[in-house]
Amino acid sequence: MKITTTRIPNLLIIEPRVFEDKRGYFFESYNQASFEKQNIPASFLQDNESKSIYGTIRGLHYQLAPYAQTKLMRVVEGAIWDVAVDIRQGSPTYGKWEGIELTAVNKKQLLIPKGFAHGFAVLSQQAIVQYKCDAFYQPKAERGIHYADNDLSIDWHIPENMAILSAKDTQHPMLKEAEINFTY
């Protein structure tokens, strides 16, 4: 497993070791012992999967502490632009975001620690996304930040007129009005 750090501390790109031959490929998408060896403190409890069509933007989502979730994102079909925003008050990278293209071909994964808002945009005709969480979903703790917050200026890699969002995702507040209880 290859781990690449991003410009935001603790936000990691993980590339599994892929074994390919004429039959196809094999890789470990997750191994707790490997994570522990790399000092990645996550013990996952829940797996989620979503299927979305081109132009779908999901996010930016997070859960308030103490229900915050670390997520390990990957794509099993298609391609997405995956985005994490640092919302840890007092962090030198507060309000900064990092984006990475995750695809079924590149098999890269993004580890998003607690204290980050997360979202993704579907770049392919459709995409199937799987992700692990280290805490269970808690509806009462669910929060979000508006995907088009001008202060964040996220490039979703989707033309605005092609963006498809849920009604809930269009109603999230901007970062400066969002309820946040994470500290750096």
How many Cα atoms within 13 Å fall on the side-chain side of residue 86?
Answer: 20
Burial of 2 (0-12, 13-18, 19+ CB in 10 A): exposed
List the catalytic residue out of 62, 118, 131, 172: 131
Q: Is 61 designated active site?
A: yes
| Closest C-alpha to 1, from 26, 27, 39, 25 | 27
Report how far residue 149's alpha carbon sits from residue 82's, in angstroms, rounded to the nearest whole number.
Answer: 16
Q: Is 157 designated active site?
A: no
DSSP assignment of 103-144 equals: ETTT--EEEE-TTEEEEEEE-SSEEEEEEEESS---GGGEEE
What are residue 81's DSSP bridge partners? 101, 121
| Closest C-alpha to 35, from 8, 12, 60 | 12
Would you tell me how many other CB atoms lie within 10 Å of the CB of residue 150?
A: 9
List the catalytic residue out of 61, 67, 94, 157: 61
Give catalytic residues, as residue numbers. 61, 131
